[in-house]
Amino acid sequence: MSNSPDTADSPAPHEDVRNTTCYMCACRCGIRVHLKNGEVRFIEGNPDHPLNQGVLCAKGSSGIMKQYSPARLTKPLRRKQGAERGAGEFEAISWDEAFAILEERLAKIRATDPKKFALFTGRDQMQALTGLFARQYGTPNYAAHGGFCSVNLAAGLIYTIGGSYWEFGGPDLDRAKLFVMLGTAEDHHSNPMKIALAKFKRNGGRFISVNPVRTGYSAIADEWIPIKPGTDGALLLALIHEIIKQGLYDRDFLVKYSNSAELVNQDFKSPECGMFVRFEVPPEEGCFDPQNKLWWDREMDRPVSTMTPGVDPYLMGEFKLPDGTKVKTAFQLLKERVAEYTPEWAAGITGIPTETIVRLAHEMGVTARDQKIELPIAWTDVWENEHQSVTGNPVAFHAMRGLAAHSNGFHTIRALGILMSLLGTIDRPGGFRHKAPFPRPIPPCPKTPKGPEGVRPDMPLDGMPLGWPADPDDLFVDDEGKPVRIDKAFSWEYPLSVHGLMHNVITNAWRGDPYKIDTLMIFMANMAWNSTMNAVEVRKMLNDKEEDGSYKIPFIVVADAFQSEMTAFADLVLPDTTYLERHDVMSMLDRPISEFDGPVDSVRIPVLPPTGECKPFQEVLIELGTRLKLPAFVDKDGKRKYRDYPDFVVNFETAPNSGMGFLAGWRGKGGEKSMKGEPNPNQWQMYEQNNCVFQYHLPKSYQYMRNWNQGYLQWAQAHGMTRHAEPINIHIYSEVLQKFRLAAQGKSQGRRPPEHLKKRVETYFDPLPFYYEPLEASLTDKHKYPLNAITQRPMAMYHSWDSQNAWLRQIHTYNYLYLNSKTAAAQGIADDDWLWVESQWGKVRCMARLSEAVEPGTVWTWNAIGKASGAWNLAPEANESRQGFLLNHVISEELPPNPAGEHVSNSDPVTGQAAWYDVRVRIYKAGADEPHETSPQFAALKPYPGQGKRKSFWNFFAGRRP
């Protein structure tokens, strides 16, 4: 038989094709997996999937090499007696033993002090379940990786517009004419973004990218505006300044749909100072904005209640209420705030020329104003006004970690939300569009317990582990104002840390501040390497012992599919499956994959049996929950309620007979209902028959202006997506922040911050965005450390995951430090030279690559390519651990302790977002006698029991062994 490819008539070898969902990154594209004799032959994008429409990225297309990777863990492992943590010396045990160990330990903790069990997860797409497990267990110490990922983006925008980018919403590039992308190289929504971006460009849209580095998406921008890291807030505030100055804002939109025209108490003596003036106080406030505030009527020149029909209020101005109280409109306060933020001022901070900033503002404003979109879609707002059309201003934005991962990110992103609102682009065509379940109230309803009493032995947590504080009374602190959570989330240090602070868990637990814990369970997060700041020290903490020889963190459990640097530090390793071997749900209760036009959720259905003794982590949790008799997992008699995870997904309801569960599609006995309905025993099959995805198309009249769209809000309420069908007005001026400030000023009743945090809370809880230098920079000698060091995400690698992938690692085998050729020349550094990058926290040796596509004050590298020797079952000599380097070594998880010895996280003081990109460094050439390899180095890990052999070559051909 000919081996020539020129035999077109022979049948293609794809006997078996199954639908499931990708998990090579967080994008969650629909895939079709072609199997040949039980081996994966081809993975293609599912053309019938709304998210990726048939396309698939480099990672998704390399799923085969993940499935057959030698880094896979296949057996439960226990650290060998006497072996140090981090050495990776394990013995294989059975699942029975593993469960017995866990059951005994966790039951004991739960019966005494449940918070001594901490569960933190990485890029987990099952937070609905992991969160439920933690809550049922009764521990407050649960979070996913959001705190060190992009919580600023979530919080900054949700506290402003009731929605955010990423899974929560996005730019409507189908209709936008101008698209401005800030601080984004590549992100979670990568394939949809790429699809949209290409379409946008082909349709002649103008694409501007603001980024210190020109890679990825920025490469195809019509204009690249290099900016100094951490200064985006200055740019955005200057844009707001210029747009207000030129009158380029959408007045009508701001008046009707934001709190811009609402009157703010300016009586500095009043405890209500800085609060909106209210004409009545509702008896019981829900988590929504009651419509009880005031405008100043332009016609009658007097205060009126907001949204009084026929009234056109002043947007700006200072007035006196009949009782003599001085008031200003929120917009007036904004105008005054940005008065000093001139383009000239921003130019000096951002490095962007004044003219460019002014032009950018004009481009945005003129496009928004003059290229209005009008769609013939009639809709009704919550005030019962009927609109004959939906209009939009076609300026769209997108932002990601470049804005978020700074200690000033929250206010930067608030400024972005305000800029978007000024341009009138919120949930309108051509602007920003929400995705279900967003918009949500500002802030959303879920709350944590309010104090230590919420944590009770043998009882579920009295509240959610993560919530959305609306005022200081929603903080999770004790009577002294001290944190209840191990990561100090929802404490006065980081009051709005809505995704937790996973990046401080290990340090806090090691130090015993605020307390010691017993068991730390980590699911798929590489907290001993790229997911932690200060990796060198954190690795020591994980292995550190008390004087009596016991570990400072007594027991560490790591569940992961792969041998990462973190697994080496575990006492117990639980082998997870790959995405091709498991059931999963991309649930409406977590972060679904909704589209602009309605809710979408999806599932994974295994296409292969588990490898070895791998067990999906969900099954582990269901089993543990059952053994521990957590109420959600057992019946009244304490008997097992769910056979397994698929059974759980079908039958679990958020409350008895709520009709809401993990999946929104094909509910009801026969699958006839969606969103809400009784459990359907055939739900999985129906997903399977429908490309593993459920898409609900809202009626057109419900698809826009959802913050104020009566039809939509009532639909959302009826379908359990929101508690209140109340308008979600944009918070140009944030009363939530002001409440914290008043508490810090001692003006308000209720909780007040501890003395040493008063100043901090008062400063950073400003109801209007302001620019401040990132905290680390303000504590750094900038002459000594003149450069910013940041990372970018390569499109062909997902964090540390893919160095084990034989195909992807050929694309990114190691990483260079990219630096502007002039910056390099000043240090006498040439291409390929070895150099040191040093911050005040540490230093790392790496190789230089000169570039013209990076701002001269910035050096950067690809994220997480460098690996510890032997990790991910790579050969100890692999390039990743010799030439590749990890920038985390120069980033600290804490700022220097204050004179009182108190530690504070290297994070945003509002949200606790890890300030990865704040780090300041200097660079210098490595000595001629220094070895040509990265430093620091770590002892090489050896393969664990049960791991596949590292092949010396691959000649992969699915379905046969050539």
| CB nearer other proteins, residue 65 or residue 155 | 65
Q: Which of residues 210-239 bind other proteins (CB under 8 A)?
A: 214-220, 222, 224, 226
CB of 115 to other proteins, least distance (A): 41
Q: Which of 18, 42, 92, 760 binds other proteins (CB under 8 A)?
A: 42
- Residue 701 amino acid letter: S
Q: Which is nearer to other proteins, 246 or 654 (CB)?
A: 246
Minimum Å gap between C-beta 882 and other proteins is 7
Q: Is 849 in the site for other proteins (CB under 8 A)?
A: yes
Residues in 244-273 that interact with other proteins by CB under 8 A: 246-249, 251
Residue 424 binds other proteins (CB under 8 A): no
Among positions 882-901, residues that touch other proteins (CB under 8 A) are 882
With CB under 8 A as the contact rule, the residue among 61, 67, 121, 695 that binds other proteins is 61
Position 624 contacts other proteins (CB under 8 A): no
> At closest approach, how far in Å is the CB of 799 from other proteins?
16
555: helix, strand or coil: strand
CB of 707 to other proteins, least distance (A): 21
For other proteins, which is the closer residue by CB, 196 or 517? 196
By CB under 8 A, what part of segment 118-137 binds other proteins? none
| Residue among 87, 107, 311, 366 that touches other proteins (CB under 8 A) | 366
Cα–chain center distance at 618: 21
Shortest CB 563 distance to other proteins, Å: 12
Q: Which helix (H) or strand (E) holds 513?
A: none
Instruction: Give the interface segment with other proteins, choosing from 389-397, 568-576, 640-648, 877-885 (CB under 8 A).
Output: 877-885
Binding mask 791-830 for other proteins (x = CB under 8 A): ----xx-------x-xxxxxxxxx-x---xxx--------
User: Could you tell me the smallest distance in angstroms from the CB atom of residue 546 to other proteins?
Assistant: 38
396 touches other proteins (CB under 8 A): no
Rounded CA gap, 315 and 338, in Å? 15
Is 363 a residue that touches other proteins (CB under 8 A)? yes
Q: Does 311 bind other proteins (CB under 8 A)?
A: no
Angle at which helix 735-744 crosses helix 755-764, to 10 degrees, equals 150
Q: Which of residues 722-781 bind other proteins (CB under 8 A)?
A: none
Compare residues 337 and 747 and give the one whose CB is closer to other proteins.
337
- Is residue 6 within the footprint of other proteins (CB under 8 A)? yes
Ramachandran region, residue 430 (left: φ > 0; alpha: ψ -120 to 50; beta: rest): left
Stretches 117-125, 126-134, 355-363, 905-913: which one binds other proteins (CB under 8 A)?
355-363
Question: For other proteins, which is the closer residue by CB, 658 or 689?
Answer: 689
Q: Tell me the residue length of the chain.
A: 962
Task: Kindly state whether residue 866 participates in binding other proteins, applying the rule CB under 8 A.
Answer: no
Question: 124 or 363: whose CB is closer to other proteins?
Answer: 363
In whole angstroms, give the CA distance from residue 214 to residue 90: 44
Q: Of 90, 103, 707, 42, nearest to 434 (Cα)?
A: 707
The residue among 554 and 786 lying less far from other proteins, judged by its C-beta, is 786
Closest of 862, 868, 879, 918 to residue 895, by C-alpha:
918
Of 50-58, 119-127, 396-404, 478-486, the window that binds other proteins (rule: CB under 8 A) is 50-58
Q: Which is nearer to other proteins, 448 or 815 (CB)?
A: 815
Quick one: which of 81, 388, 550, 955 contacts other proteins (CB under 8 A)? 955
Cβ atoms of 441 and 162 within 8 Å: the answer is yes
Tell me the per-residue interface mask from 483 to 522 with other proteins, x by CB under 8 A, - otherwise.
----------------------------------------
Query: Looking at this protein, which amino acid is placed at residue 212?
Result: P
Q: How far is the C-alpha of 737 from the C-alpha of 744, rounded, in Å? A: 11
Task: Pick the closer one to other proteins by CB: 147 or 313.
Answer: 313
Assess contact for 538 and 556: CB atoms under 8 A: no
Interface positions, 19-38, toward other proteins (CB under 8 A)? 36
Q: Least distance to other proteins from the beta carbon of 541, Å? A: 30
Which long-range contacts (C-beta less than 8 Å, at least 24 apart) are formed by 679-684? 679/650, 679/651, 679/653, 680/650, 681/650, 683/649, 683/650, 684/583, 684/603, 684/605, 684/646, 684/649, 684/650
Binders in 915-934 for other proteins, by CB under 8 A:
none
Angle at CA 917, nearest 5°, toward 911 and 921? 140
Can you tell me the distance from the alpha carbon of 266 to that of 317, in angstroms, rounded to the nearest whole number?
Answer: 12
- Select the span of 54-62, 397-405, 467-475, 730-738 touching other proteins (CB under 8 A): 54-62
Per CB under 8 A, the list member of 853, 939, 940, 942 interacting with other proteins is 853
Helix axes 409-422, 151-161, angle to 10 degrees: 40
- Total binding residues toward other proteins, as defined by CB under 8 A: 117
CB atoms inside a 10 Å sphere around CB 3: 5
Does 527 contact other proteins by CB under 8 A? no
Read off the amino acid at residue 829: I
Task: Please give the residues from 63 up to 92 whose contact with other proteins meets the rule CB under 8 A.
Answer: 64-65, 70
Q: How does 125-157 read in b/e, with b if 16+ C-beta sit within 10 Å?
A: bbbbbbbbbbbbbbbbbbbbbbbbbbbbbbbbb
Q: How far is the CB of 347 from other proteins (least distance, A)?
A: 13
What SS3 string covers 691-739?
A: CCEEECCCCHHHCCCCCCEHHHHHHHHHCCCCCCCCCCCECCCCHHHHH
**619 belongs to the binding site for other proteins (CB under 8 A):** no
Within 10 Å of residue 48's Cβ, how many Cβ atoms?
A: 13
Using the contact rule CB under 8 A, the part of the chain among 160-168, 661-669, 834-842, 844-852 near other proteins is 844-852
Options 16, 877, 902, 930; binder of other proteins; rule CB under 8 A:
877
Q: Is 367 in the site for other proteins (CB under 8 A)?
A: yes
Compute the least distance from the CB of residue 689 to other proteins, in Å. Answer: 18
Give residues 284-303 in contact with other proteins (rule: CB under 8 A): 298, 301
- Distance of alpha carbon 459 from alpha carbon 489, whole angstroms: 21
Between 41 and 123, name the residue whose CB sits nearer to other proteins.
Answer: 41
Residue 755 amino acid letter: E
288 CB neighbour count, 10 Å cutoff: 19
- Within residues 637-696, the interface with other proteins by CB under 8 A covers none
Sign of the dihedral through C-alpha 526, 528, 533, 535 = negative
* Alpha-carbon span 231 to 788, nearest angstrom: 11
Among 55, 77, 522, 846, binds other proteins (CB under 8 A): 55
If one asks whether residue 326 binds other proteins (CB under 8 A), the answer comes out as no
Which residue of 111, 290, 782, 957 would you call a contact of other proteins, by CB under 8 A? 957
Cα separation, 30 vs 601, whole angstroms: 11
Beta strands in 767-913 (DSSP E): 787-792, 817-820, 834-838, 843-851, 858-862, 894-895, 904-905
Closest CA to 708 of 331, 162, 159: 162
Residue 175 CB, nearest approach to other proteins (Å): 15
- Residue 56, both tokens: 């698939």
Helices marked H in 765-886: 775-778, 808-811, 821-826, 879-882
Residue 646 DSSP label: H
Report whether 724 contacts 707 (CB < 8 A). Answer: no
Site for other proteins in 150-209 (CB under 8 A): 178, 186, 190-191, 194-195, 197-198, 201-202, 204-207
Nearer Cβ to other proteins, position 352 or 620?
Answer: 352
Residue (316 or 464) nearer to other proteins, CB:
316
